[in-house]
Structure 1
Amino acid sequence: MTRCNVIRISLATCFLSLALLSGGCAITTSATLSEVPPMHTIEEFKDQRFAEVYDPWEGFNRSIYRFNYYFDSYVFLPVVQGYEEITPVFVQDRVSGFYNNLSEIRNLSNSLFQLKGKESLTTLGRFVTNSTIGIGGLFDPATRFGLDRHVQDFGKTLGYWGAGSGPYLVLPLFGPSSVRDTSGLAVDTGITYGIYTAAAPFSGTGHSFEISTGVTSLEAVDMRHRQSFRYFESGYPFEYYMVRFFYHQKRELESARNPDAPSE
C-alpha cells in the first residue's frame, strides 16, 4: 500500500463516518455547544501533583482537546452508537477479537525489540493459536490455554530503553499522547502497513482499496466502542489536567523497566 493510499484510506474513514451520521445511524447526543464546561487554568491547581506533567504546548493541546470533544460528540460517538444498536453483542465481541488478534503483530514486534524472549514466544503462540483454532481471532482459545496477552507498542519500547516521554501532546482524534508516544505510533503504523503491503491480502479481489477502507473504518469504530471514556463527563472542573496526569503516570509505569523482574 502506497503512502497515497494510506492517506486516501484515512480520508475515506472520515467520509464514511460522516456518511453514516447523515444516513440515519446518528443518535442525538445531549451535549450542545453551550454545555461544554470551562477549562480551568493551571494556576488554579499549581500546587497539585497533576500539575507536574511537562506541557509547554498547553494552549494548542487544550484546543485539540476541545476539537476531539466536538468530533466525538457529533460524529464519532453517533456512528459508534449506531454500530452498537444494529450489531448483536456476540458479533461485536467477534469483531473485537479479530482486531485484537491483528494487534498481536505489533505486540510481538515490540516484545522482540525489548528482548523479552518468553513474552515474545507467548505472543507468537497466541497469534498462531487464535489465527487457526480461533478462526482468525474471532475466538480466543489462547487465553484458555494459559497464553496471556501482553499489550506492547513502540512508545513503550522507547521508554523501556530509557527515552523520556518528552512534552505532553494531545493528538487530533487519537487523544492524549506525548512526543515519545507519537513517535512510537508512527513507527508502529509504518511496521503495520509494511507488513500489510507485503502480505497484500486483498490484492486479488479487484476491490483492494474499498475492502481496506472498510476494514480500517470498522477498526476505528471498534476501538472507540471499547473505550468507556467520554469527554467532559467526569464531573471534574479540571478534567484536562486529570486526564493529562493519569495518562502520563500510566505510560511511565507501563514503559519503565522493572529491576526486580526475573531475566528471561
Structure 2
Amino acid sequence: MRLSHTVRSVTAMAAVLTLAACASPGPGASFDERDPYRATNEAIHDFNIEADRYVLRPVSQAYDTVTPEIIQFLLTNAFNHLDTVNDFANYLLQGDIEAAGTAFGRLTMNTVLGAGGLLDPATEFGLPKEDTDFGVTLGKYGVAEGAYLVLPLLGPSTTRDVGGAMGDIALNPLTYTGFFNSNALDVFSPVYNGAEIVHDRARNADLIDDVLYNSENSYISLRTIYLQRRDSLILGDQVEDTLPDIFDDEPVN
C-alpha cells in the first residue's frame, strides 16, 4: 500500500539522519563549533536571502495587501488548529502528559466552540498554544543535534531537525490526503503548506525583515536565533531564551 510505504520511507529517512547526528558538539558548545559547514551554509543563506527578496517577500506583501485582517486572523487560527494535532502527538511521545492534555483540550474546544478552529476560545480559557515538533521529541530522548545546516529555501535546521521534519510528516494528517483517489485532495497538502509559508511571512514581516535586511550580519543573527530557540524548547529552564522567535506562526508586535 502507498500509505505504509510512505510511513516506512519517512521513518527510515528519519532514522538515518538522526543516527548521523550522534557525533555532535551539543548545546554546550559555541555556535561556531556547532556550525562545521559554515562556508556552504553561508552560500545557501545568501541564495535564500535572494529568493526571499525577489519571490517570497513580494508575494507575502501582496497577500497582506489584498487579504483583509479578519481573514488573516481566521487563517492564523486555522493553521494553528491543524498544527495542534502534531503538538499533541509529539507531547505524548515526549511523555509530557500535562502539555498533551493542554493540546488535546485546545483541539477539542476550538473544534467544537471555535467554528472548527477558525476561532481560538481555548486561549481565553487558559489553554495557550505551545509549539513542539518531532525534532524536539528526538532531543528530549537524547538524540544529538548534529551539524547546523541551512537548507535551500527552507532555511535554518540541524541534522537532527531534518530527521525530525520527516517524523512530523509522518505524524501530520495532511500527509495522507493524497492516498485517497481525489485530484482535489492530491493538491490540497502542498497548496496548504505554501499558503501557510506566505501567511507566516506576512504576519511576521517586520521582524523577519529586520533580521534579514537590517542586522549587521543576517547569517549570524539567524543562526543565533534558531539554535537558541531550539535549545530552549529541548532544555527548558536550563537555557535562557531572550531572543525573538521569527519562526513562530503568531505575529510579533
Q: Report deviation, 1:243.
A: 2.1
TM-score by length of 2: 0.74
2:184 equivalent to 1:207: yes
CA contact (8 A) 2:174 2:189 kept: no
CA contact (8 A) 2:145 2:159 kept: yes
Q: Report deviation, 1:258.
A: 5.4
CA contact (8 A) 1:202 1:211 kept: no
SS in 2 for 1:166: coil
2:202 equivalent to 1:225: yes
Range moving further from structure 2, 62-71 or 160-169? 160-169
Alignment-derived partner of residue 230 in structure 2 = 251
Q: Report deviation, 1:213.
A: 4.1
**How many pairs align?**
211
CA contact (8 A) 2:146 2:160 kept: yes
Q: Which consecutive residues of structure 2, in runs of 5 or more, have no partner in the other structure?
A: 7-28, 239-253
Q: Give the Cα separation in 2 of the matches to 1:54 and 1:185.
A: 19
Q: Report deviation, 1:65.
A: 0.3
Q: Which consecutive residues of structure 1, in runs of 5 or more, have no partner in the other structure?
A: 7-48, 260-264
Q: Give the Cα separation in 1 of the matches to 2:34 and 2:187.
A: 42
Shift in CA distance, 51/128, structure 1 to aligned 2, threshold 3 Å: closer
Q: Report deviation, 1:157.
A: 1.1
Shift in CA distance, 202/215, structure 1 to aligned 2, threshold 3 Å: farther
Alignment-derived partner of residue 128 in structure 1 = 108
2:113 equivalent to 1:142: no
2:47 equivalent to 1:70: no
TM-score by length of 1: 0.72
Range moving further from structure 2, 82-91 or 160-169? 160-169
Deviations 1:41-77 (A, max 9, x none): xxxxxxxx96544211112111110111111011111
SS in 1 for 2:157: strand
Alignment-derived partner of residue 111 in structure 1 = 91
2:133 equivalent to 1:153: yes
The one-letter code sitting in structure 2 at the alignment partner of 1:208 is L
Structure with the bigger percentage of helix = 2
2:218 equivalent to 1:239: yes
Deviations 1:212-259 (A, max 9, x none): 4432321221222233312642331x3312321232122112111658
Q: Report deviation, 1:115.
A: 0.3
Q: Give the Cα separation in 2 of the matches to 1:136 and 1:62.
A: 42
Alignment-derived partner of residue 37 in structure 1 = none
* Residue from 195, 216, 228 that aligns with 2:193: 216
SS in 1 for 2:117: coil
Deviations 1:195-214 (A, max 9, x none): 3355x499587632344443
The one-letter code sitting in structure 2 at the alignment partner of 1:99 is F
Shift in CA distance, 220/105, structure 1 to aligned 2, threshold 3 Å: same
SS in 2 for 1:106: helix
> For 1:179-194, what aligned pairs fall within 5 Å after superposition?
179-192=159-172
The one-letter code sitting in structure 1 at the alignment partner of 2:184 is H
The one-letter code sitting in structure 2 at the alignment partner of 1:196 is L
CA contact (8 A) 2:114 2:121 kept: yes
SS in 1 for 2:116: coil
Larger radius of gyration: 1
Range moving further from structure 2, 220-229 or 54-63? 220-229
Q: Give the Cα separation in 2 of the matches to 1:197 and 1:239.
A: 33
Shift in CA distance, 203/253, structure 1 to aligned 2, threshold 3 Å: same
Amino-acid identity (%)? 33
Alignment-derived partner of residue 83 in structure 1 = 63
CA-atom RMSD in angstroms: 2.7
